Amino acid sequence: MTTCTCSDTWIIRKSKRESQVRLFCFPYAGSSAEIFRDWPRELPTDVEVSPVHLPGRGRRSREKPFTELLPLAQASAAALSPHLERPYALFGHSVGAIIAFEVARELRRTGMPLPLCLFVSACRAPQLTFTRHRTHDLPSAELIGELRRLNGTPAQILDSSEMMQFFLPIIRADLQMIQTYSYVAEAPLGCPISAFGGSCDVEETPELISAWREQTSSSFQLQMFAGDHFFVHSEHQHLLRTIAQQLTSVTSLDWSST
């Protein structure tokens, strides 16, 4: 049962009296919190889905998007901090996975509790280079061609010059974030990490994704799904079942010890 709606610039969440864990979700490059719109009704009632609204898109489209990942992670962590009074988990897809990872590290630096689980999807481990494929500064036609190849942007958007005029600056900013990201080694996180990949994703391979195990001193799981880089859509029901199962296994943990 929904008891109230809590809102700020970064997060709109509907509090569920029966929820045991809050799931903060970070979108992939060029997208917004809207991609998680169906998750609240498709996940169990004990999971409260809280998509993170990043600047430059959706209801924050008038704001300038971040072009550096670490400042975005720091701002996101500050925004999440008031909402960590109950157990929580982080999910991020592609660029969102690295944002979620750096948010977890920033929360640790500031003495906040760690997530019950960090879910990283369609993304190689952060200690592996992200600079070898630089696409954020490609000419528009070439960048649109790259987006077609990745198969994550609807054709009706790619074919519309008006819509691409709006979306390309957001996409470029997000790609610049990840392609200029510089990983700095720190101690592994003390929370479990669960990594997901697409079996047909030719860039984010199981070997690259499995390297996330180095980022946790707790348990690590790797699960591959049918589909390409955007299995988050094509296999979303299977993905949500997996997330629900894994959250169920950790919600019995003692929150005070995490």
**From 19, 94, 121, 194, the catalytic residue:** 94
Angstrom distance (rounded) from CA 16 to CA 47: 8
**Active-site residue, 94 included:** yes
Angstrom distance (rounded) from CA 188 to CA 191: 9
Residues in the chain: 258
DSSP the chain: -EEEEEE-SSBEEEEETT--EEEEEE--TT--GGGGTTHHHHS-TTEEEEEB--TTSGGGTTSPPPS-HHHHHHHHHHHHGGG-SS-EEEEEETHHHHHHHHHHHHHHHTTPPPPS-EEEES---TTS---SS--TTS-HHHHHHHHHHHT-S-HHHHT-HHHHHHHHHHHHHHHHHHHS------PPBSS-EEEEEETT-SSS-HHHHHGGGGGBSS-EEEEEESSSTTHHHHTHHHHHHHHHHHHHHHTTS-GGG-
Give me the active site residues, please.
94
